[in-house]
Amino acid sequence: MPYTITDACTGCTACVRKCPVGAITGERKKVHKIDPDLCIECGVCGRTCPVNGAILDQLGNACTFVKPALWPKPMISIKDCMSCNICIDACPVGCLSLSKGAGPGNNHGYPYLSDEKACIGCSFCAVECPVDAITMTAPME
């Protein structure tokens, strides 16, 4: 089930600018719409929307605004990571990159958050990591 927009939408377009797959359309100051075929349920629209209740998540629950600085970010455990690149591929905004090698004695590359500002806190990297090497951590206010 994709996210949906209710009549409470004010058409501010904040979600349009953040949606990584261009699933949200609508005229400014009018109720917007999410294309269910495009929505990937990353939830960034819900976290971005300033009007509580204007966006419902995949279970029909009203989303609430969260300051971007408080969105959860991936913490990657190099000890558990197997350099498989799954997290990098899973990221819809491309904010993870692979390092150029861990150092002497270990020349595997490991993923790191290379573009923190771009991260939308969707947690897809953590969900898809087969060995649970990633935990999503929200910064403290």
Partner 1 sequence: MGKGYMGKILFVDLGKGTFQEEVVPDEVYEKYLSGQGLGAYILYDRIPKDADPLGPDNILGFVSGLLTGTGSLFTGRWMVVGKSPITGGWGDANCGGTLSPAIKRCGYDGIFIKGVSKKPVYLFVDNGKPEIRDASHLWGKDTVETEELLIKEIGKKNTRVACIGPAGERLSLIAGIANDKGRIAARSGLGAVMGSKKLKAIVLSGAKRITPRNRDEIKRLSSKLNKIVQLKLPFPSGPMTAYVGTLIGKMPTQMVQDGLLYKSLLQKWGTGSMNQMSIEMGDSPIKNWKGSNEDFGLSISKATNPDVFKEREMVKYHCYSCPLGCGGICTMPSKYDSYEETHKPEYETVLVFGGLVMNKDADSIFYLNELMNRAGMDSISAGGSIAFAIECFENGILTKDDTDGLELTWGNTEAIIALAKKIIAREGIGDLLADGPKVAAEKIGKDSINYAIQAGGQALPMHDGRNDPGFALHYSVEPTPGRHTIGAQLYYEMYQLWKKVKSLPKPKFIYHKDTKYVADKQKAIMAAACSKYNQLYNGAGLCLFGAFIGASRLPIFEWLNAATGWSKSPEEYMEIGERIQTLRQAFNIKHGVDPKNFKASERALGRPPLEKGVNKGRSVDIEKMMADYWETFGWDAESGKPTKETMDRLGLNQ
Residues that bind partner 1 in the complex, under the rule CB under 8 A: 20-22, 37-38, 40-41, 82-86, 89, 91-95, 100-101, 107-109, 115, 124, 127-128, 130-132
Asked if residue 45 lies in contact with residue 15, where contact means CB atoms within 8 angstroms, the answer is: yes
Residue placing its CB nearer to partner 1 in the complex, 130 or 140: 130
Which lies closer to partner 1 via its Cβ, residue 47 or residue 54? 47
Tell the smallest beta-carbon distance from residue 53 to partner 1 (Å). 25
What is the DSSP track for 104-124?
TTB----EEES-GGG-----H
Cα(19)–Cα(2) distance, integer angstroms: 13
Q: How far is the CB of 29 from partner 1 (least distance, A)?
A: 27
Residue 10: which residues within 8 A CB-CB, separation 6 or more? 29, 51, 54
**Nearer CB in complex with partner 1: 38/75:** 38
User: In angstroms, what is the minimal distance from the CB of 133 to partner 1?
Assistant: 10
Q: Residue 1 corresponds to which tokens in the numbers above?
A: 């089930």
